[in-house]
Structure 1
Amino acid sequence: MCTHSQKLVNEAEIISEELIKIAMLWHDQVYTALEDASRLYFSEKDYRGMFRTLDKMHAMLDQPPETLKEVSFL
């Protein structure tokens, strides 16, 4: 499908990203990441999993804020 309708695929990706952005705020994503990292560290003794979770969270926060909620979070 990507070769037939590249424009349609690109628009679908944009819509998907925007829906995710409004569905789950940075506050919620950080809270969830910290809970997951804590569970991995304390319950499962999975230190690498904890660092992977925190790395993903930091990568998200390294992106420039695009909404007022994201600006207020920082």
Structure 2
Amino acid sequence: MEIDFSPLEDLMKTLVIKAVWFSVAVIVAAVIVTVVLKFLRVPRFISKYFVIAAMLGTAYYWATHYF
């Protein structure tokens, strides 16, 4: 008797794809916020908190809507 792992393999592929897109979304959010804050000439010690907030906000959105 053999065990069919195909549903588990499909689940793992789906989770890997979602994890990659999750990572890309967080990085893109950080880059966009960094560029906008540099354009607005916001001091670096303040802008890092905005970048962290954008990354956490994007992570929360993706975690609640796509997983």
TM band (smaller chain): 0.3 to 0.5
TM-score when scaled to structure 1?
A: 0.33
Q: Relative to total residues, which structure has the larger helix share, 1 or 2?
A: 2
TM-score when scaled to structure 2?
A: 0.36
Q: Which has the larger radius of gyration?
A: 2
